[in-house]
Copies of this chain bind each other. A is one copy, B any other.
């Protein structure tokens, strides 16, 4: 039996005015415009040799008939998928960051006529991804996530957001942030505001972002002659865990006068834990975060943070992948994404 291509209850209004509505194909356009399929195709594509008058006529006919190219047919012929896959870490934190990033990627991808397919979590590999997407965006790949190597070996080009530090094949491109520099900027800012004994609640996990933060604290402290106390909390730390870590830290080393935490989600917990010990965030204890987000913007007090500009970041990742797919950029390109320090009341100091 032929697949049902006729009218359905959900058919659009265009169909409801025409009896026995059918999908308009290129052949219909060609017939109506009095040309052949090839000419119609060339006219609409901009390819081939077509007289300007013919091209215009075909375009008008297509418009008038409501012609929509069948994407499956086009993809079959062109041997591409017309879509990018997007893999986000399935962590409980930084969610608004990832959603912003996703929409940024969608915006850039549709600029190149590509869809963005949201890939499932580590659980369901959901079958072969190769023939369904032209390339993959893998965001904040964690070295211990078993899904990442599979994606890197799926047979399509992969661009990562942040570097991939795992053992598998390297991605064909990456967009990275200079996390060492942004952490240094935060520590510089805290020093400027009077902090002498900063500490870092570093995120755990095997992502490049987390690893860089853990390593960079020392790299900043040594030349400044200021040891930075580093304590590791889970990547997706709950506020309760963050609060407990902050209490431990401030109890063990009471002269700590500034706390930098990793993801924005942990910041409210730090505020809470500090207050429980009688400290006043923003005054006798400066607080900052390495990631900006709802929690830092709306904190009480609002929390100084590094704005990674997630929507632009997502755009940049999609742009790099599109550029590589279209041969506008050579493989193995790495691009740098700029960040911005948002100074807020939590590092005001001055007590």
Where the two chains meet, the residues of A that have a C-beta atom closer than 8 Å to any C-beta of B are 3-5, 8-15, 68-73, 75-83, 86, 90, 95-96, 98-100, 102-103, 106-107, 110-111, 113, 115-121, 123-124, 126-128, 130-132, 153-158, 169, 172, 238-239, 265, 268-269, 271-272, 294-295, 297-300, 331
Contact = CB atoms under 8 A, between A and B. Distances in A.
Contacts of A300: 268, 271-272, 300
A76 B86 contact: no
28 contacts: A3-B80, A4-B79, A8-B157, A10-B155, A10-B172, A10-B331, A11-B155, A12-B155, A69-B131, A72-B76, A73-B76, A82-B132, A83-B115, A86-B118, A95-B95, A95-B96, A95-B99, A95-B100, A96-B96, A106-B120, A106-B121, A111-B124, A116-B118, A265-B298, A268-B298, A268-B299, A268-B300, A294-B294
A71 B73 CA distance: 11
A301 to B, nearest CB: 10
A90 B103 contact: yes
A72 B68 contact: no
Nearest to A123: B107
Nearest to A302: B239
Contacts of A95: 95-96, 99-100, 294
What number of copies of this chain does the assembly contain? Answer: 2
A182 B100 CA distance: 29
A68 B131 contact: yes
Given A79-B5, A118-B106, A155-B12, A128 B98 contact: no
Contacts of A82: 132
Given A12-B153, A107-B124, 7 more contacts: A3-B77, A12-B155, A69-B131, A70-B76, A72-B72, A72-B76, A117-B117
A110 B127 CA distance: 9
Contacts of A77: 3
A121 B90 CA distance: 23
A234 to B, nearest CB: 15
A239 B172 contact: no
Given A70-B131, A132-B71, A10 B106 contact: no
A115 B132 contact: yes
A350 to B, nearest CB: 21
A331 to B, nearest CB: 6
Given A10-B157, A11-B155, A121-B107, A3 B73 contact: no
A272 B238 CA distance: 22
A154 B268 contact: no
A267 to B, nearest CB: 10
Contact of A71 (B11, B123, B131): B131
A295 to B, nearest CB: 7
Closest 7 CB pairs of A and B: A12-B155, A95-B96, A3-B79, A72-B75, A110-B126, A239-B298, A72-B76
A120 B107 contact: yes
B110 A120 contact: yes
A148 B152 CA distance: 36
